[in-house]
Structures are given as C-alpha cells and as structure tokens.
Amino acid sequence: MESVVLTDGEVAAVLKVSRATIRRMWWRKQLPAPIQIGVCNRWRKSDIDQWLADQPTNNLYDTPDACERKLV
C-alpha cells in the first residue's frame, strides 16, 4: 500500500488556512504529528483525513432555536 504524504502547503490547502496556521497548529499539538523525511516535515494524508473525521462539527443549525433570533 502506497502512503501519500503532504507538505505543510498541501495540508494548508486542504484545511483552507495559511501555512503559518499549519505550523502554529502543529507547534500547539492541534494537528497530528508529521513524519520527518530528511529535514522535511510531511503529514500522512490518512492521518489528516482521520483527524478531520474526528473533529466535532460546529453547525449552528443543530440547536432547536438556532433559526430564532432572540432580542435582548
């Protein structure tokens, strides 16, 4: 089985964030740990896919009163 690896730029494109955000998330241990190939960090695509699947959804329409505007 061939393992696909991604650069920080490719991970950034998948998550629609900047490369700096990817590095910050990695530093804060908010992303799966990359593997080191020579002096380069790479992420396994399967690790990123699993990480995405494990993230909680934040859908505003999940709550019953989400469509009601409350005036305070």
Tokens 């696909």 belong to: 4
- pLDDT number for residue 57: 76
Say how many Å lie between the first and final Cα of the chain, rounded: 58
- pLDDT number for residue 63: 58
Per-domain residue ranges of the chain:
5-55
Helix 8-15 and helix 45-54, axial crossing angle in degrees, nearest 10: 30
> Per DSSP, which regions of the chain are E strands?
5-6, 35-37, 40-44
What residues are paired with 42 via a beta bridge? 35
Q: Is the pTM of this model over 0.75?
A: no
d(CA 22, CA 50): 16
pLDDT tens for each residue of 20-66: 999 999 999 999 999 999 999 999 999 999 999 998 876 666 555 55
- pLDDT number for residue 14: 93
